[in-house]
């Protein structure tokens, strides 16, 4: 049991689960656009997400010292996590040089800056602390990156705006429950959706976003993906009551891993 628990902690607290979710959505985008995937691109997404989320966690545990089980575990394993981060960074840089031109790489600079400044107040205030902004930064960053990386790997510079919108709406929908979870700890100055509209209306907004995403998949011929969205909406609704952290970090984040399983079926 202790071994199983430690594996769970590495997967969830070490942000491997989140990285696999990003890989899954990128895989889905690749199949939808080109009916094929690039393994190097999926590796870039995995390493970049792992680096980005562990970097955010590192800043959080050092700045706020919440002493949550995740924070304590993270600090206890900080040296190994840093080593994994350095290796991931080297792999990511090598793969980017091998797969993208300089011009294509420059287009990802804004997302690098968002990651850098999301928690670090390098400009006087962290981006996540700007009122109304946090959740939209997350949704749009995921929406763009999971589409742009496959596109630029094909040297296709004509943005697929409909898929960017689709992915962004889905991420927005499954992220709102996390703001509901953090209602008691988030500063009211952040003006999150649950703070502005209340829990019930925030969940309604989440369901609407996911439903629109499901409809967009449906009209593109991906019926099973639209059903994944329907299932996601049901899972989201259960977060109206107080749930343990694993419900959010494992179940809701894990919804993204369903995408590759159902993208291959097109009606």
* Other residues' Cβ atoms within 10 Å of the Cβ of residue 102: 7
Structural contact between residues 171 and 209, judged by C-beta atoms closer than 8 angstroms: no
Q: Say which CATH number the domain at 32 has.
A: 1.10.600
| % of the chain exceeding 90 in pLDDT | 52
pLDDT digits 0-9 by tens, 217-239? 998 888 899 999 999 999 999 88
Q: What is the mean pLDDT of residues 17-45?
A: 94
Q: What is the CA radius of gyration of the chain?
A: 18
**Rounded to an integer, what distance in angstroms lies between the CA atom of residue 203 and that of residue 174?**
10
Structure tokens at 41: 């691109």
pLDDT digits 0-9 by tens, 83-125? 999 999 999 999 999 888 888 888 888 888 888 888 887 777 8
For residue 207, the enclosing domain spans 2-263
Report pLDDT for 265: 66
Q: pTM for the whole thing?
A: 0.92
Q: If pLDDT is split at 50, 70 and 90, which confidence band does 252 have?
A: very high
Phi, then psi, of 172 in degrees rounded to 5: -60, -45
Farthest CA pair distance, the chain:
50
Report pLDDT for 108: 85
Number of domains comprising the chain: 1
- Residue among 4, 65, 30, 8 at smallest CA distance from 146: 30
**Rounded to an integer, what distance in angstroms lies between the CA atom of residue 58 and that of residue 208?**
33
Torsion of CA 15, 25, 105, 50, to 10 degrees: 10
**235 SS3 class:** helix
Q: For residue 79, what are the CA distances in angstroms to 76, 86, 115, 126, 164?
A: 8, 11, 21, 25, 36
Structural contact between residues 175 and 202, judged by C-beta atoms closer than 8 angstroms: no
- Residue among 132, 159, 130 at smallest CA distance from 145: 159
């Amino acid at each position: 049991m202790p071994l199983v628990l430690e594996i769970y902690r590495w997967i969830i607290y070490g942000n491997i689960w989140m990285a696999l979710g990003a890989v899954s959505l990128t895989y889905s985008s690749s199949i939808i656009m080109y009916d094929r995937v690039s393994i190097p691109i999926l590796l870039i997404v995995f390493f970049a997400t792992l680096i980005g989320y562990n970097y955010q966690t590192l800043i959080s545990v050092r700045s706020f010292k919440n002493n949550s089980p995740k924070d304590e575990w993270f600090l206890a394993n900080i040296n190994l996590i840093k080593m994994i981060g350095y290796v991931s960074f080297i792999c990511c840089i090598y793969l980017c040089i091998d797969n993208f031109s300089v011009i294509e790489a420059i287009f990802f600079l804004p997302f690098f800056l968002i990651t850098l400044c999301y928690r670090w107040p390098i400009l006087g205030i962290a981006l996540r602390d700007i009122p109304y902004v946090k959740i939209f930064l997350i949704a749009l960053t995921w929406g763009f990156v999971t589409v742009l990386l496959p596109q630029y790997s094909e040297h296709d510079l004509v943005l697929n705006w409909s898929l960017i919108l689709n992915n962004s709406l889905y991420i927005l929908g499954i992220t709102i429950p996390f703001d509901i979870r953090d209602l008691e700890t988030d500063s009211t100055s952040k003006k999150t959706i649950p703070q502005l509209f209340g829990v019930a209306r925030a969940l309604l907004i989440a369901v609407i976003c996911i439903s629109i995403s499901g409809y967009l998949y449906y009209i593109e011929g991906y019926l099973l993906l639209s059903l994944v969205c329907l299932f996601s909406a049901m899972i989201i609704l259960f977060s109206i009551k107080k749930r343990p952290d694993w419900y959010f970090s494992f179940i809701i984040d894990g919804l993204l891993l369903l995408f590759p399983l159902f993208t291959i079926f097109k009606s």
